[in-house]
Structure 1
Amino acid sequence: MSRIDDTREFIPIRIALMTVSDTRKLDDDRSGDTLAARIAEAGHTLADRVIIPDERTDIAAKLKEWSLSDDVDVIISTGGTGLTGRDVTVEAHRDVYEKEIDAFSIVFTHVSMAKIGTSAVQSRATGGVANGTYMFALPGSPGACKDAWDEILVKQLDYRHRPCNFVEILPRLDEHQRRK
């Protein structure tokens, strides 16, 4: 069973936050606000925050830029994970991923099923890794952002979480790029 090991010191990480929307602005970005507040409450640093329109190339370019930055450890996007024609966030993430974290979408679906039943099938939340940076694409609703953060990310982004967590392997994510 998972638990917090209080003998380990908390390690704050730097998280960049992207809202994907053709209509949202910072003053009405409830999902982005939800995640920004939770990031701060958990003791992490909000490294950057942007709103990007639903354009696959623009989303992928920003993901790549952030993944190459020494100032960003994790990228979380919200919005554009549905099934409509403008929902291209998942495709943009996959354009950048080196590895997909398949179980993230499975666990997210499990969490969502408990909250919204079979409507969970309409989300394509995803996670992956590129350039030594974790990336997660969450749905655009504040409820889905709360669920993903509270049930998955807050635990996996805490170095004290046992039996394992994303933070402890963060330094090794790009080891293949350092090999001779």
Structure 2
Amino acid sequence: MDRDFIPVRIAVLTVSDTRDAADDRSGDTLVGRLEAAGHVLAARDILRDDRAAIAEKLRAWCADPQIDVVISTGGTGLTGRDVTVEAHRDVYEKEIDAFGTVFTIVSMNKIGTSAVQSRATGGVAQGTYLFALPGSPGACRDAWDEILERQLDYRHRPCNFVEILPRLDEHLRRK
């Protein structure tokens, strides 16, 4: 059985104390790839490394019925200002544990043991997928090209994120 492509609506959040719209190379990388794949850019923003502000933005986008997926870039490292992972986990209802593991495997093939410094993560909240990626364009390319492009394509077999998207919030609906 052949399946038709189903575009999903994706919001991109760049977390940085130094970037703005003119030099957001990682955000641009994600937007270029998601649009080239046939998906819809539903929203885009840049926020400073502030845990509460990031979590607030994630919750707002999760509550928006016009957004299916949120991808953030930046703030996943180990320094004191890197709080994106904590903000994501403040919002998650369920963590997609294997996302970080698979990202680490992909990264190991590209940057060797430096991959241990990444804390990429994924999860689900309010029927929305959330992914936190490192702030480099290379890491964004790797995550999109090796993981997200396939998992956000309804035609990908044996399974993908899109086919279960309508069921992510089934626990909130009345029986």
What TM-score range do you get, normalising by the shorter chain? over 0.9
What's the offset of the Cα at 1:132? 0.1
The alignment of Structure 1 onto Structure 2 pairs a total of residues equal to 175
Task: Report percent identity of matched pairs.
Answer: 76
Alignment match, 1:99: 94
Alignment match, 1:131: 126
Q: Out of 11, 18, 22, which is 2:17 matched to?
A: 22
Alignment match, 2:104: 109
What's the offset of the Cα at 1:179? 3.2
Q: Out of 163, 166, 170, which is 2:161 matched to?
A: 166
Structure 2: give runs of 5+ residues left out of the alignment: none
Distance 1:110 1:21 in 2: 25
Structure 1: give runs of 5+ residues left out of the alignment: none
User: TM (normalized to structure 2)?
Assistant: 0.99
Alignment match, 2:70: 75
Alignment match, 1:122: 117
1:44 and 2:11 matched: no
Secondary structure (helix, strand or coil) at the match of 1:8 reads coil
Aligned counterparts, 1:58-69, within 5 A: 58-69=53-64
Deviating beyond 6 angstroms after TM superposition, the runs of 4 or more aligned structure 1 residues are: none
Q: Deviations over 1:35-54 (max 9, x none)?
A: 00001000000000000000
Q: Deviations over 1:74-125 (max 9, x none)?
A: 0000000000000000000000000000000000000000000000000000
Q: Deviations over 1:117-137 (max 9, x none)?
A: 000000000000000000000
User: TM (normalized to structure 1)?
Assistant: 0.96
Q: Out of 135, 140, 155, which is 1:140 matched to?
A: 135
What's the offset of the Cα at 1:17? 0.3
